[in-house]
Amino acid sequence: MAENERSLRYGCNPHQTPARVYTRKGALPFNVLNGGMSYINVLDALNSWQLVKELKQATGLPAAASFKHVSPSGAAVGRPLAGVLRRAYRVDDMDLSPLATAYARARGTDRLCSFGDWVALSDMVDVPTAQLLRREVSDGVIAPGYEPQALALLRKKKEGKYIILEMDAGYEPPALEARDVFGVTVEQRRNDAQINAALLQNIVTDRQALSDAAMLDLLVALITLKYTQSNSVCLAVDGQVIGVGAGQQSRIHCTRLAASKADNWYLRQHPAVLDLKFKPGVQRPDKDNAVDLYLRDDLTPVEESAWRAVFSEQPQRLSASEKRAWLAGMRDVVLGSDGYIPFRDSIDRAQQSGVGYVVQPGGSNRDAQVIQACNEYGMLMAFCGVRLFHH
């Protein structure tokens, strides 16, 4: 088969065959080092690669993304990881490189949603990153290169079927992109908008001072939104995404979903969660599922029984007041929105999850009401002026 074309295992679903990936001109920009891809693998790989490439360009830090169904479950840059997060992310027994730290953060955003993820890494994969990938349930990885020992480790994953792609880091696509839908082709200029600090200069609230840490998180949020299925809202802090609300028809539903995931991310750092005692042999995904059930308040009797079965010591549930008290410690969180925020309800919900900074395109008829809501809560809001819809 020519270097500009590869057959795929199947399309979106196993019955959709034949399937292939190809370029109309020139070679494919990646090499398949191991495994066989499906249609969705290709979509996840190419979207997630763009995300981590732009994060690295914008921040100068190694970047990672955990993708599921063409949207990120998490994304992050390689900032140092505190002890509490190391325990919450289940990496406290590992020596992490900056790249491995970025992936631990990306995977740690929402470990439930990242089960069976596609991984994108901005830098050459080193041994610590490969060791972390080997222990997580994942479908494949794309990166610009692999250290020989790291590649050897990854080739053993999934009984030798783990998909490993090597991306041409210098590849630039054509200016126009096309898609066929129901036999009809639509074409557009690709989204080459540059996400950088210049987009954060139009601050429209009373609060004006933008810290370097908040600047980094705003960039992380915007770049993540650029590759998230719309409508979408993203919450970020400390160089990583902590909640994504993707593919919703209403902005408030995006916000509620992203904020609830961020709340769960923060609750997973509660001492009661970190000290949960699991029975010997309980696997990592089962621990993640049990933590999710532990934090929920609406369990059926069957779920309650399943949740308690994995613990060697039966834990006491956190009460609603204990959860509220813990969540009050969330501070300086960033909220990014891929489209304008049409009502203040998103701001009201965001405030409950510690949001102190907001970035959105602006342009709603109710901008003044949204600005007023931010001022009431002491939030800073910037109008970036760029809509980032992605479909």
Q: Which residues are catalytic?
A: 68-69, 231, 391
d(CA 361, CA 336): 9
Residue 82 has φ and ψ, to the nearest 5°, of -70, 160
Maximum alpha-carbon separation in the chain? 62
Return the half-sphere exposure (C-beta side, CA atoms, 13 A cut-off) of residue 265.
Answer: 32
- Full 3-state SS string of 87-107: HHCCCCCCCCCHHHHHHHHHH
d(CA 334, CA 354): 8
H helix runs in 5-59, sequence order: 39-59
As given in the structure block, the two tokens for residue 274 are 């970190």
CB 239 within 8 A of CB 220: yes
d(CA 101, CA 321): 33
The size of the chain, in residues, is: 391
Kind of pairing between the strands at 232-237 and 240-246: antiparallel
